[in-house]
Amino acid sequence: MSARAIVLAAGKGTRMKSARAKVLHELCGRPMLWWVLEALRAAGVDDIVVVTNPELDPQLAPFGVRTVIQREQLGTGHAVKIALDAIVPDDGCLVVAYGDMPLVDPAIFEDVQAAVDPGAGTALALVTAVMPLPSAFGRIVRTGPSTGSAAADTASGQAVERIVEAKDCTPAQLALDEMNAGIYAYDERALRAAIAQVGNDNAQGEYYLTDTVELLIAAGRRVAPVPVADYRSVLGVNDRVELASAGALLNRRLCETHMRAGVTITDPATTYLEPGLLLATDVTIRPNTVICGATRIGEGTSIGPNSRISDATIGARCDIRESVVTASEVANDVKIGPFAHLRGGSQLADGVRIGNFVELKNAHLAEGVKANHLTYLGDATVGARSNIGAGTITANFDGVRKNRTELGSDVKVGSNSVLVAPVSVGDGAVTGAGAVVNRDVPAGDKVAGVPARSIAKKPAET
């Protein structure tokens, strides 16, 4: 049977000071909530209900989860109650987590599920973490004096007694450093009984989910703490400072995964990655580089410094420096940059060379084409080995529509040529410096001037 979970995401996230819902703020290119759902799914939990609010709800369609709307945010206990009312009762284990903890990893969800025992003694397993003080997390209050180590306390049977929210703590409780991470595995039947009794007599006037701890214990059930090794994996994000530090940790994790798989990253602190990238072995990423979207990069290719590659497929042994590549395909042994911009729809075959201040859009360049300096190739097809001189422009827009420029193979385009599309230049043709080519040039012809005319020697008349 597949495990079930409730994820709470209805809170206003007021500390973000944003028009955007907190759980939709992004870390490494993915919304905060995406990270939590990914970790749950990786831990085998695939039946997920997200508690949302009326503004957020329509924006959750892409997440592929069932949602339940909490109209008034009366607290985490109230949110769970609303979700429980909406799902068919079950007597198994139910995971509850918050949507604002993007650093959580699948092992934590696996451990907490393994520690609960529906129908038997342990009605709740909850993740705890020892954290530096001060902290706004809820405090874990145990029955006896703490040894200072959550793991040792658990081993020596110091039972969890209750959770006290930071705002309700006495000074002595505020000094406790074992925190409620906000990840729970409940015996669902016991949770349903306890949640009905949760009140709101506390500093925030909210229905706290955390009050179920005391209620379950009073009902004679056990509550098992599941201490986490590194508190950073359960850090909640409540404002933009925490958003940035969580983002940096996630980015570091992505970098480390790729480095362990054989990618050299010169400076992980200034390399920005997203999940789902396919980077082959011996890829090198130099500093200050962003690689995002559905990008794949082949063996031995170097990217950066100061580059952004998004939704691109790059082959093997390429070198891309100080450049931007978007939604394009680059084959093997291609050199790009510095300061080139490949916009959408460009395709570069093996051995192409794109140099300084060259912009491509929807340009298909065959094997060995060179465009080394100051050029715009838009909606163009260029045949093998052709050379595009400095300052060449394809004038692809006639004020109404975009038109294509077709160049054959072994064409030499002189510096400062303007190719006024739609126009074609045949194989082996040459344009002189400064030519404005507004009529098709036959294969092998030489043209020059404004507008360009043939200057090829005609065969002598007989």
Q: To the nearest 10°, report the CA torsion of 405, 408, 410, 416.
A: -20
d(CA 433, CA 66): 64
The arrangement of strands across the sheet holding 296-297 comes to 278-279, 296-297, 313-314, 329-330, 347-348, 364-365, 380-382, 405-407, 423-425
Could you give the string, one character per residue 187-226, with x where binding to Mg ion holds by CB under 5 A and - elsewhere? Answer: ----------------------------------------
In the complex with ligand UD1, the residue whose CB is nearer, 74 or 86, is 74
Provide CB contacts within 8 A for 278, sequence distance 6+. 295, 296, 297
d(CA 160, CA 46): 29
**Contact call for residues 22 and 11 (beta carbons, < 8 A):** yes
As measured in angstroms, the least distance from the Cβ of 99 to ligand UD1 is: 4
**Contact call for residues 202 and 72 (beta carbons, < 8 A):** no
In the complex with ligand UD1, the residue whose CB is nearer, 56 or 348, is 56
Residue of 78, 461, 399, 337 whose CA lies nearest to 352: 337
d(CA 135, CA 150): 16
**Contact call for residues 372 and 389 (beta carbons, < 8 A):** no
Which structure tokens are listed for 199? 């009140």
- Select which of 25, 258, 364, 373 is catalytic: 373
d(CA 400, CA 305): 39
As measured in angstroms, the least distance from the Cβ of 211 to ligand UD1 is: 8
In the complex with Mg ion, the residue whose CB is nearer, 239 or 267, is 239
Point out the residue whose Cβ comes nearest to ligand UD1: 138
- Quick one: what does residue 130 bind among Mg ion, ligand UD1, none, with the CB cut-off 5 to 8 Å set by partner type? none
As measured in angstroms, the least distance from the Cβ of 366 to Mg ion is: 55
- Quick one: what does residue 359 bind among ligand UD1, Mg ion, none, with the CB cut-off 5 to 8 Å set by partner type? none
In the complex with ligand UD1, the residue whose CB is nearer, 76 or 326, is 76
Point out the residue whose Cβ comes nearest to Mg ion: 236
If one asks whether residue 138 binds Mg ion (CB under 5 A), the answer comes out as no
In the complex with ligand UD1, the residue whose CB is nearer, 154 or 210, is 210
Residue of 283, 242, 250, 4 whose CA lies nearest to 116: 4
- Quick one: what does residue 283 bind among ligand UD1, Mg ion, none, with the CB cut-off 5 to 8 Å set by partner type? none
As measured in angstroms, the least distance from the Cβ of 180 to ligand UD1 is: 4
- Quick one: what does residue 11 bind among Mg ion, ligand UD1, none, with the CB cut-off 5 to 8 Å set by partner type? ligand UD1
**Contact call for residues 74 and 200 (beta carbons, < 8 A):** yes
In the complex with Mg ion, the residue whose CB is nearer, 75 or 236, is 236
b vs e for 155-177, b when ≥16 Cβ sit within 10 Å of the residue's Cβ? Answer: eeebebebbbbbebbeeeeeebb
As measured in angstroms, the least distance from the Cβ of 195 to ligand UD1 is: 12
**Residue numbers 83-102 binding Mg ion by CB under 5 A:** 100
- Quick one: what does residue 138 bind among Mg ion, ligand UD1, none, with the CB cut-off 5 to 8 Å set by partner type? ligand UD1
Determine which residue in the list 225, 236, 247, 304 makes contact with Mg ion, applying CB under 5 A: 236
Determine the residue type at 436: V
341 is known as an active-site residue: no
- Quick one: what does residue 79 bind among Mg ion, ligand UD1, none, with the CB cut-off 5 to 8 Å set by partner type? ligand UD1
As measured in angstroms, the least distance from the Cβ of 228 to ligand UD1 is: 12
Q: Which residues pair with 393 in a beta bridge?
A: 376, 418
As measured in angstroms, the least distance from the Cβ of 112 to Mg ion is: 18
In the complex with Mg ion, the residue whose CB is nearer, 133 or 155, is 133
Q: What angle do CA 296, 299, 305 make, to 5 degrees?
A: 75
Residues that bind ligand UD1 (CB under 6 A): 8-11, 51, 70, 73-76, 78-79, 98-100, 137-138, 163, 165, 179-180, 182, 208-210, 236, 238
Q: Under the rule (CB under 5 A), what is the footprint of Mg ion?
A: 100, 236, 238
- Residues recognised as catalytic: 373
